[in-house]
Amino acid sequence: MSKQTVCMPPPETDPRLAAVLRRLRTERELSQERLAVAAGITAGTINSIERGSRGPTWVTVCKLAEALGVSLNELGRQVEAEGG
């Protein structure tokens, strides 16, 4: 018997979220590497999210918000404001 794997679509990218995360990181004078360590994820993941080539999972968004010192509510407000 062969194993079946469940294929889930990748998380959607959101250019507004990418822009806000990049802005918050640079405002805090954090490199992608330092933010990655603080959030417990890889710098490559942050790079991919900021470039918009990869959407973050909900867990990753939570880790990034905590590492950046913002609540999820505040992060959401900033993402909405980014849209104009």
Q: How many domains is the chain partitioned into structurally?
A: 1
Q: b/e string for 13-52 if b means 16 or more Cβ within 10 A? A: ebeebbbbbeebbeeeebebeebbebbebeeebbebbbee
Assigned domain for 10 exists: no
* Domain assignment present for 47: yes
Averaged pLDDT, 54-69? 95
What CA dihedral angle connects 36, 41, 43 and 49, to 10 degrees? -100
Residue 3 lies in a domain: no
Q: Is residue 57 domain-resident? A: yes
pTM score of the predicted model: 0.84
The answer as to whether 33 is a domain residue is: yes
- pLDDT band per the 50, 70, 90 thresholds, residue 1: very low
- CATH code for the domain in which residue 32 is found: 1.10.260.40
The mean pLDDT value of the chain amounts to: 89
Q: Is the pLDDT of residue 38 over 50?
A: yes
Q: What is the pLDDT of residue 16?
A: 94
Residue 46 lies in a domain: yes
Whole domain around residue 40: which residue ranges? 15-82
Domain presence at residue 8: no
User: Could you give the CA distance from residue 34 to residue 31 in angstroms, rounded to a whole number?
Assistant: 5
pLDDT greater than 70 at residue 53: yes
